[in-house]
Amino acid sequence: LTNWHSKCSKERPQWQCRKKASVSFGMPRTSSSISEGRFPIWLVFLPFALVGIVNVARAPSHAPVVSRRQLALQRSRQKPPDSGWAAVETSRSSAALSSEEATRIALEKGSQRVRAAAAAVSSPVRGVVTAEALDAVLPKGAVVWLTFSNAAYLHFAQNFYLSCAAVGRAHQLAIAALDPPSLSSWAGLGVPVLNFSVFGDASDFRGIGADQARFRRMGAMKVAAFLSLLRRGRPVLCSDVDTVWLADPEPFLRSRAAAADIAVTSDCLSREADANKRGDSRRFDPKGVWFCGHNPQNLYGVTFNTGVLFLNPTPRTLTLAERWHAKLVAPTDDWHLEDQRAFNMLVTEAFCPIHLQLMLT
C-alpha cells in the first residue's frame, strides 16, 4: 500500500487516502496493526462463520435436505386451516401454460365478456359497418371512439372495448379491423367494426424483430380510418389498442380541446420537466428537456406521442391528416419512419410555427 498511498497523496486529499489505505488484507503481522490503523478484514466475516457453525450443530443429523421448490410444493398441497377449500394437488408441468394456451383462454373469456357488454349497448348498427353508416346513426356532434387491431392483438382490443363500456362510451366505439380474422371476430361479437382488413397481416409484427415497413403500413391504415370519419364532420378520439380508459375523458376534451385542431399526448414522462413551462427551473438545462419538446422555447423539437389523439374535423386537421397519410404510403428509404415520427416531422417541417395550447391538469 505504500506506493499507492504516495501516488494518492498527489492526486487526492490526504483524508481520502488514509481512509482507503487503512484496510489491511489478510492476517495482521503484529498486535499493533489495529492501533496503527490497519484493520484485519477477516474479523468482519467471523460472526457469520460462527452463526453457521451453531446452526449446523443444532441441526439433527437425520434431517432431510429440502429445496425451496419442494417446500413450496408441500405447502401448496396442504389444506388451508378452517376453510372449505379443497386441496389442489398440482405439479410444475400441469400448472404451466404455454403462451398460446394462455392467449386462447384469455380470448375465450374476453369474448364472453365483450359479447355480454355489447348486448347491453343500445346501438342501431352492429357488425361490419362503413364510416357513412356509423355517421348516420350517431347523434350530431358525437365523438367516435376508435381503435384498431389485428388478430395478434385481439386480446388487447377486447380489454380496450371493456374499458370503454365501463365508462359508458361503448355505443360510440368502432374497431378498425386490420385482417380478416379480427374482422370476423368483432362482427360475430356484435361490435361495430370498420373493414380495413386489406392490410391483411395477423402477426405480431410489432414484437421482437419488428418489421418497420409493415408497422408503417399499419400506421397508414390508422390514419385512413380516422380520416374517413373526419371527412364526414365527425370528431374522433383515436387510441392505440394497448390503452384503457379509467374515466370518461370527453368532459375534459370538450372543455380544454374544443378550440384546438388536434389534441395529442406527449412522451414527456417527467412531471417536473413538464411543469417547467417558463424554463426557469435550475434543475433542468435551459435549452429544454429531451421528450418535452412541446414546452415553449425547448430546442429539442416536438416529441408528440400519437398513441392517443383527439381530432376535431377542422380544415387544418384534414390537411394534416391527408399529408400524414400520403407521407406514410409514399416510397421511402427511411427505415425508421412510422406514423408517430411522420406526425412529428410534419408538425416540425410543414406546420411550424404552430400554436400550442398547453392543456394542464
pLDDT for position 22: 40
pLDDT for position 270: 82
pLDDT for position 214: 85
Percent pLDDT > 70 in the chain is: 68
Helix (H) or strand (E) holding 341: helix 339-349
Residue 11 has pLDDT above 90, yes or no: no
Lowest-pLDDT range of 19-33, 71-85, 178-192, 309-323:
19-33
Helix (H) or strand (E) holding 194: strand 193-195
Q: Distance between CA 182 and CA 360 in Å, rounded? A: 37
Interval 15-34 mean pLDDT: 43
Q: Which triple of cell numbers denotes residue 120? A: 347491453
pLDDT by residue (tens digit) across 196-209?
998 888 888 765 45
Q: Which triple of cell numbers denotes residue 295? A: 414546452
pLDDT band at residue 3 using 50, 70 and 90 as cut-offs: very low
pLDDT for position 49: 55
The DSSP secondary structure of 111-151, one letter per residue, reads HHHHHHHHHTS--S--SEE-HHHHHHHSPTTPPEEEEEE-G
Helix (H) or strand (E) holding 174: strand 173-177
Q: Distance between CA 361 and CA 358 in Å, rounded? A: 10
Q: 342 and 327 in contact (C-beta within 8 Å)?
A: yes
pLDDT for position 5: 43
Interval 308-337 mean pLDDT: 92
pLDDT by residue (tens digit) across 241-279?
999 999 999 999 988 877 889 999 888 888 888 888 777
Residue 28 has pLDDT above 70, yes or no: no
pLDDT for position 259: 82
Lowest-pLDDT range of 48-52, 129-133, 328-332:
48-52
Q: 146 and 236 in contact (C-beta within 8 Å)?
A: yes
pLDDT for position 300: 72
Interval 321-346 mean pLDDT: 91
Closest CA to 226 of 312, 338, 349: 312
Q: Which triple of cell numbers denotes residue 186? A: 368483432
Task: State how beta strands 236-239 and 304-311 pair.
Answer: antiparallel
Residue 59 has pLDDT above 60, yes or no: no
Residue 48 has pLDDT above 90, yes or no: no
Q: Which triple of cell numbers denotes residue 192? A: 361495430
Q: Distance between CA 297 and CA 291 in Å, rounded? A: 13
Provide the mean pLDDT of the chain.
76
pLDDT for position 1: 39
Has this prediction a pTM greater than 0.75?
no
pLDDT for position 85: 34
pLDDT band at residue 68 using 50, 70 and 90 as cut-offs: low
Q: What is the CA radius of gyration of the chain?
A: 31
pLDDT for position 285: 80
Q: 173 and 155 in contact (C-beta within 8 Å)?
A: no
Burial of residue 211 (number of CB atoms within 10 Å: 0-12, 13-18, 19+): middle
